[in-house]
Amino acid sequence: MNKVQVVGPDQIYRLWDEVEDWLKGYIELPNNECTIEQLKGLLAVGARILLVSSDEDNELTGAMTVEFINHPNERVMFISALGGKGIVNEQTFSQVEEWAKMQGATKVIAWAKEGQVRLYKQKAGFISNRYVVEKKI
């Protein structure tokens, strides 16, 4: 089973070469919120959080970046970038959900391409809403 870990801002530059390509494909969409270099900066100053998954041999298999947004009735963990393998499946994503709950989150939201929507729905129990997927936790 893959293990999910939070990467502190002080470790972003050390791990960046291993996760950059995974995140780049997700972040550089036509209506992109930021560039991959801007995302790196947001992670390094703690404005976003990097989570990585690793296999039994401690090899990195995937990465996601998240931020928390407070709404009047919800604390939302927003997945701003995702890539690699092994994070969006029931066993591994349940670790992400438990960590999010410990941060006070009540819902998870992510932007997704059409093909990714199926993955989120099938592997992690999300529902789709205009290519934004969300899940109460």
Domain map (residue ranges) of the chain: 3-136
Beta strands in the chain (DSSP E): 3-7, 49-54, 60-70, 75-84, 107-111, 127-129, 132-136
Residue with tokens 């999910």: 4
Give the list of residues 6+ apart from residue 6 with CB closer than 8 angstroms, or none: 49, 50, 51, 99
User: In what order do the strands lie in the sheet containing 127-129?
Assistant: 3-7, 49-54, 60-70, 75-84, 107-111, 132-136, 127-129
Find the farthest-apart pair of alpha carbons in the chain and give their distance in angstroms, rounded: 42
What does the pLDDT read at residue 23?
Answer: 93
Q: CATH: 3.30.420.40, 3.40.630.30, 3.40.1080.10, 3.30.530.20. Which one for 3-136?
A: 3.40.630.30
What pLDDT shows up at residue 118? 78
Which residues in the chain show pLDDT less than 50?
Answer: none
CA pair distance 47, 123, nearest whole angstrom: 28
What per-residue confidence (pLDDT) applies to 121? 82
pTM for the full predicted model: 0.86
Contact 104, 71 (CB under 8 A): no
